[in-house]
Amino acid sequence: MRGAVLGAALVVALAACGGEPEQRAEPEPTPSAGPATTEAVDEPLPCVPGAEPFTGPAADEFGAEQVMAAYCMLADLAFAQERTSLALPVPEQDERDLRSVRAVLTTSALERWRERADVDGLTLHDVRRVPRGYQRADDGPFVYGTTVGPATARLEGDALSLSFALETGLVLEERGDDTGRHSLLPVTRDATYVLVPVGGGWKVADWEAKFTHGPVRLVSG
- The string of pLDDT tens digits covering residues 189-199 is 999 999 999 99
Q: What is the pTM of this model?
A: 0.77
Which among 146, 125, 195 is positioned nearest to 47, based on CA atoms? 146
Could you tell me which residue, 110 or 46, shows the higher pLDDT? 110
Which stretches of the chain are assigned E, i.e. beta strand? 134-136, 143-148, 152-156, 159-174, 182-198, 201-213, 217-220
- The string of pLDDT tens digits covering residues 26-41 is 444 333 333 333 343 3
Please state the rounded mean pLDDT for residues 85-99: 86
Q: What percent of the chain has pLDDT over 90?
A: 46
> Cα separation of 14 and 193, whole Å?
31
- The string of pLDDT tens digits covering residues 147-187 is 999 999 999 999 999 999 999 999 999 998 888 889 999 99
Which residues are CB-neighbours of 118 under 8 A, at least 6 positions away? Answer: none
